[in-house]
């Protein structure tokens, strides 16, 4: 794995593009500027790594578009040492961004081959994190409650089990809609039994499949 001047230059331009598209959080832009996104691509597709586009990672899944990663991460308002649960490890790129921002990252992926590949890469890059293979719609009760939860696949409804695993005052970012488009939602847990919901922009994610998501 090498990170050349050409890669660094392409990454700098990507960060500028994201800032022009409205991403203002310096911690987010800084993390995107640091993590070599091309490590999450096979060599053949290296040239696609710094385009602001989603890209296939196998098993019918995708690494999210950089703008989407930046948008969700900005909404998450990550603070150093936050306990963050990610549903949908995919390539591991989003988890790497959260690690760079100083979060304690817990990530769940339902497809074993993707889980294994992402875990191996994140370990090779020297990140500290916990990665589990399983149904993320059930959350990770063994490590709950979390300060923040980020769902990186499209849910049919806000997964209530995940709200239960948020701390009071915690934030969850989740795309909710049908199988084609979803609205991004910010959920803020206001007490043990209440939460506020803010509806934001439209996106298009692969489906969140599981007990509290879409059925297989
Ligand atoms: N965050 C990923 C990245 O940085 O590459 C991109 C995620 S991709 C858009 C969505 C991922 O969610 C897919 O890898 C998919 O297999 C996974 N997924 C879907 N339903 C899931 C579930 N119930 N639990 C865990 N992962 C799930």
Dist CA 169 CA 90 (whole Å): 27
Nearest to 28 by CA among 76, 65, 86: 76
Q: What is the model's pLDDT at position 119?
A: 98
CA torsion, ordered 128, 132, 137, 141, to nearest 10 deg:
-80
Ligand 1 mean position to 208 CA, how many Å? Answer: 7
Ligand 1 mean position to 8 CA, how many Å? Answer: 27
For residue 202, indicate whether it is catalytic: no
Residues in the chain: 216
Position in ligand 1 atom list of the atom nearest CA 57: 5
Q: What is the model's pLDDT at position 216?
A: 86
Q: What is the model's pLDDT at position 85?
A: 98
186: tokens are 């910010």
Cis peptide bond upstream of 178, omega within 30: no
- DSSP per residue over 138-154, as a string? G--GGG--EEEEEE-SB
Give the domain 56-62+72-203 fold: Rossmann fold (3.40.50)
Ligand 1 mean position to 5 CA, how many Å? Answer: 31
Predicted TM-score (pTM) of this structure: 0.98
Q: Is 19 in the pocket of ligand 1 (CB under 6 A)?
A: no
CA torsion, ordered 8, 13, 16, 17, to nearest 10 deg:
-130
How would you write the pLDDT of the chain (216 residues) with one tens digit per residue?
Answer: 899 999 999 999 999 999 999 999 999 999 999 999 999 999 999 999 999 999 999 999 999 999 999 999 999 999 999 999 999 999 999 999 999 999 999 999 999 999 999 999 999 999 999 999 999 999 999 999 999 999 999 999 999 999 999 999 999 999 999 999 999 999 999 999 999 999 999 999 999 999 999 998
Residue 103 burial class via C-beta count within 10 angstroms: exposed 0-12, middle 13-18, buried 19 and up: buried
> Strand order of the sheet with strand 104-109?
129-133, 104-109, 83-87, 146-151, 166-177, 182-191, 194-203
Q: Is 154 in the pocket of ligand 1 (CB under 6 A)?
A: no
């Amino acid at each position: 794995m090498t990170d050349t001047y050409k890669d660094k230059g392409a990454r700098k331009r990507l960060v500028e593009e994201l800032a022009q598209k409205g991403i203002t959080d310096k911690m987010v832009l800084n993390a995107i500027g640091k993590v070599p996104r091309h490590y999450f691509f096979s060599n053949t597709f290296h040239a696609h790594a710094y385009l602001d586009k989603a890209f296939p990672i196998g098993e019918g899944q995708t690494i999210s578009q950089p703008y989407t990663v930046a948008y969700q991460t900005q909404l998450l308002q990550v603070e150093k040492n936050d306990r963050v649960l990610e549903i949908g490890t995919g390539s591991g790129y989003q988890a790497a961004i959260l690690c760079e921002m100083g979060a304690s990252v817990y990530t769940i992926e339902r497809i074993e081959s993707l889980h294994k590949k992402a875990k191996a890469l994140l370990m090779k890059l020297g990140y500290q994190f916990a990665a589990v293979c399983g149904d993320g719609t059930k959350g990770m009760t063994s490590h709950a409650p979390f300060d923040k939860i980020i769902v990186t696949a499209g849910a049919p409804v806000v997964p209530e089990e995940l709200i239960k695993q948020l701390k009071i005052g915690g934030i969850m970012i989740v795309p909710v809609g049908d199988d084609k488009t979803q609205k991004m939602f910010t959920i803020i847990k206001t007490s043990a039994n209440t939460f506020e919901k803010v509806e934001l922009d439209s996106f298009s994610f692969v489906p969140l499949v599981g007990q509290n998501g879409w059925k297989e």
